[in-house]
Structure 1
Amino acid sequence: MIKKLFFLVVILSAIRFAASAQITYRDIKNYKVYYGSAKRNTQDWLIMRKFESQGKTYLLMVEPHSLETKTDEISLYTVTPLTLTEARKYYQATPYVKAIDKAEKNSKSIQDAGIQSGMPKETGITLTADLCPSHRPLDKRIFTDIFEQFQKVERPVPIALSITGIWMKQHPQDLAWLKQMQLKNEIYITWINHSYNHRVSKNLPLKQNFLLESGTDIYYEVTETEKAMLKNGLLPSAFFRFPGLISDEQLVTSITSFGLIPIGTDAWLAKGQQPQAGSIVLIHGNGNEPLGVADFIKLLKSKTKAITNKQWLLYDLRESVGDEFD
């Protein structure tokens, strides 16, 4: 059992190191939503996307048990094309499909549809921070404080960032700073698709706002964000967070049709929601929510002793969600 756990840690570390050194695809052509099975040796990956770059064809794939993603050349795999229905049936016993199924069942609420909490093995939370479009700089306190608190017990420290295409475009220096932290093995980032434009109106009701606003091109919002990630050397995950946490049943189905798992929260700190064991915590790292960031830093400081004793940890979003459905 110990050997098995050791090798699992080694494999996950290798995957994460490869992700931190993700290829930057400057020239992307024919980017498509594409489903299939990609087999190599004993591994079987679910294909989510296919695209071309520098004369080669690449795949974006998800490992349906661990929820890890990666990009690789199609020529290295035995590929079996599948429809979305066939893919979900083929991988139906995996945490990936079970998570999508649960997200669809929790799709009728106008606010906070999708997966709202995970099931870690010990007390702790999964931290997610949203990077919505903002003229303010990145709130770096989040990242420096979690590294300071956890570096002796958990390195790299896992965090999931919901990122928009507009934020990437407007904040290249902040993005480079985050990537540098990951390269130095200080943090490990799961990049969540948060739409490209993150449209919002102060005047429209929720049922017509954010991605529900008339004229929204959901295909553009999803795929352009993924392409922007790849062009910036980021690895897209299999997760999606709705802007404003606003959606309806049809929109949830649209997102799952892209093979993405909608992620909500049960602890939006700026709204006074208190995290419990296994909570998916939401704060905003774009400089627009200093109250939520201050609350999180206060939470961290209150857990100093528990963190030191490894009794309160931060959990990787993929492991947290995967554990719930394993």
Structure 2
Amino acid sequence: MKFRLLTLFLLLYTLQAGAQARYTQIKDYKVYFGWAHHAPQDWMVIRKFTDRNKSYYLLVNPQTLETKIDDSSFYQVKPMSVDEAKNYFRTTPYQKALRKAESASIMIQDAGIERGLPKETGISLTADLCPSHKPLDRRIFTDIFNEFKKVEQPVPVALSVTGLWMNTHHADLAWLKEMQAKHEIYITWINHSYNHRVSKSAPLKENFLLEPGTNINYEVLETEKDMLSNGLLPSVFFRFPGLVSDQKLVFSITDFGLIPIGTDAWLAKGQKPQAGSIVLIHGNGNEPVGVNDFIKLLQSETKSIANKQWLLYDLRESVDEEFEGGN
């Protein structure tokens, strides 16, 4: 009996250890920049909000791109404008990645960072969860866990999530959170806008987030609020719906403190991943071709995976290490 109780306790502890707190009474959620210090680490503040009459910050470790939510009273803080914050942290991998994304802002499609670690053998997997009436394609997650569990656990994956998907797929979201809580996968949550509107007839320059009348503050901040209310931790990454943007929109996103992430390997379009690729598939049930191609890719790399010669990389580490050193 004692053994069963101990096993139950350990299981509950494991499930809770990977869980992010839920903030369900968020007020005054806003963009807020500054330097924050809590010995021994300096952080950059990018958001401020209250929940149940307590004040919180969304903070970024500018060296590792790690984010966290914490009680604002724990920190010595110097408020800054966005330009002051960018300048203060200019030598960090975080700000170097932001500048790299801005330098690729002219393209109408796939602006932002497209590749991570070019010297490594492996990829960073990103799966988009756009609004969909279909259930989550769970094969992606069960297959990567089964393939990598002997050599890499939890298995890193980055999910680009929309507000509408979160609010209509509660069971799928709970399943993903359970996988993370069990340390089977580690999820980096990417902001993919709230509505992800798309027109089949409008030209790209007036489509997706470039649609006239789009409220970019709502699309970004409401998605983050929904992440927090669902127990998800927002990352510093943003993926444009349809990978469509213009220069003004890219700079709008970087002024939120977010790094636009593109891809050089959208599998459903026949693009082949290379070493260091940021791979794109859709996990919302709307793109079975891309999912099938990814599963075939896994199967083709079985021996390399077993020998730790082909791995999945955490998107944060992949981008961070790419921008260590240099300008």
If the length of structure 1 is used for normalisation, what is the TM-score? 0.94
Contact 2:119 2:275 survives alignment (8 Å): no
Residue of structure 1 in register with 2:265 after alignment:
267
Cα deviations by residue, 1:253-281 (Å, 9 ceiling, x for unpaired): 00001000000000000000000000000
Residue of structure 2 in register with 1:291 after alignment:
289
| Cα drift, residue 122 of structure 1 | 2.8
Match for 1:235 among 218, 227, 233? 233
Residue 296 of structure 1 aligns to a residue in which SS? helix
* Cα distance in 2 for residues equivalent to 1:252 and 1:122: 28
| Cα drift, residue 20 of structure 1 | 2.9
Paired AA for residue 303 in structure 1 = E
Cα deviations by residue, 1:259-316 (Å, 9 ceiling, x for unpaired): 0000000000000000000000000000000000000000000000000000000000
Residue 228 of structure 1 aligns to a residue in which SS? helix
* Cα distance in 1 for residues equivalent to 2:17 and 2:227: 12
Within 5 Å, which residues of 2 pair with 1:76-225?
76-119=74-117, 122-225=120-223
Residue 170 of structure 1 aligns to a residue in which SS? coil
Gap runs ≥5 in structure 2 = 1-14
Contact 2:160 2:192 survives alignment (8 Å): yes
* Cα distance in 2 for residues equivalent to 1:324 and 1:254: 23
Q: Which sits farther off after the overlay, 155-164 or 120-129?
A: 120-129
Paired AA for residue 29 in structure 2 = Y
Residue 320 of structure 1 aligns to a residue in which SS? helix
* Cα distance in 1 for residues equivalent to 2:39 and 2:169: 40
Paired AA for residue 36 in structure 1 = G
Residue of structure 2 in register with 1:306 after alignment:
304
Change (3 A) 1:174 1:294: same
Cα deviations by residue, 1:189-246 (Å, 9 ceiling, x for unpaired): 0000000000101110011000000010000000000000000000000000000000
* Cα distance in 1 for residues equivalent to 2:85 and 2:103: 19
Change (3 A) 1:18 1:65: farther
Residue 214 of structure 2 aligns to a residue in which SS? coil
* Cα distance in 2 for residues equivalent to 1:120 and 1:152: 25
Matched, 1:258 2:256: yes
Cα deviations by residue, 1:86-143 (Å, 9 ceiling, x for unpaired): 1011100001000000100000010000000001653000000000000000000000
* Cα distance in 2 for residues equivalent to 1:60 and 1:165: 18
Contact 1:120 1:323 survives alignment (8 Å): no
If the length of structure 2 is used for normalisation, what is the TM-score? 0.94
* Cα distance in 1 for residues equivalent to 2:221 and 2:26: 12
Paired AA for residue 261 in structure 1 = I
Residue of structure 1 in register with 2:8 after alignment:
none
CA RMSD of aligned residues (A): 1.1
Q: Count matched residues.
A: 310
* Cα distance in 2 for residues equivalent to 1:185 and 1:249: 39
* Cα distance in 2 for residues equivalent to 1:197 and 1:180: 25
Gap runs ≥5 in structure 1 = 1-16
Paired AA for residue 31 in structure 2 = V
Q: Which sits farther off after the overlay, 19-28 or 175-184?
A: 19-28
Change (3 A) 1:282 1:19: farther
* Cα distance in 1 for residues equivalent to 2:315 and 2:196: 22
| Cα drift, residue 18 of structure 1 | 8.8
| Cα drift, residue 144 of structure 1 | 0.1
Contact 1:33 1:50 survives alignment (8 Å): yes
- State the percentage of identical aligned residues: 70
